[in-house]
């Protein structure tokens, strides 16, 4: 996860307990005889949806967009968040 202090501050300001759910785990592994790289990243929009606070969901939406841009820059096929 690309740490963005502005995003972190908005999330904590909206709901301090959300800090335990920051997406910070990224798994990268080779599969299919090392011909495919699999990248797994948490989808914050799904994970944080239980909050039911508009501010939290706005941050989640923006964070998801950032993560999708990161995945797009990797240029791998069949990637999803």
Q: Is the CB of residue 59 less than 8 Å from the CB of residue 14?
A: yes
Residue 9 lies in a domain: yes
The 10s digit of each residue's pLDDT in 68-77 is: 887 787 766 5
Q: Is the CB of residue 49 less than 8 Å from the CB of residue 42?
A: no
Residue 49 lies in a domain: yes
What is the number of domains present in the chain?
A: 1
Domain that holds residue 24: 5-74
Residue 65 lies in a domain: yes
The 10s digit of each residue's pLDDT in 28-77 is: 788 877 777 777 888 888 888 888 888 888 888 888 888 888 778 776 65
Residue 55 lies in a domain: yes
pTM for this model (two decimals)? 0.63
Residue 80 lies in a domain: no
Q: Is the CB of residue 71 less than 8 Å from the CB of residue 81?
A: yes
């Amino acid at each position: 996860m690309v740490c963005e202090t502005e995003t972190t501050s908005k999330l904590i300001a909206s709901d301090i307990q959300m800090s335990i759910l920051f997406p910070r785990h990224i798994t990268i592994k080779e599969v299919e005889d090392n011909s495919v790289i699999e990248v797994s990243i948490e989808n914050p929009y799904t994970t944080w949806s239980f909050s039911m606070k508009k501010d939290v969901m706005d941050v989640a939406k923006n964070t998801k967009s950032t993560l999708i841009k990161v995945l797009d820059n990797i240029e791998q096929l069949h990637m999803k968040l």
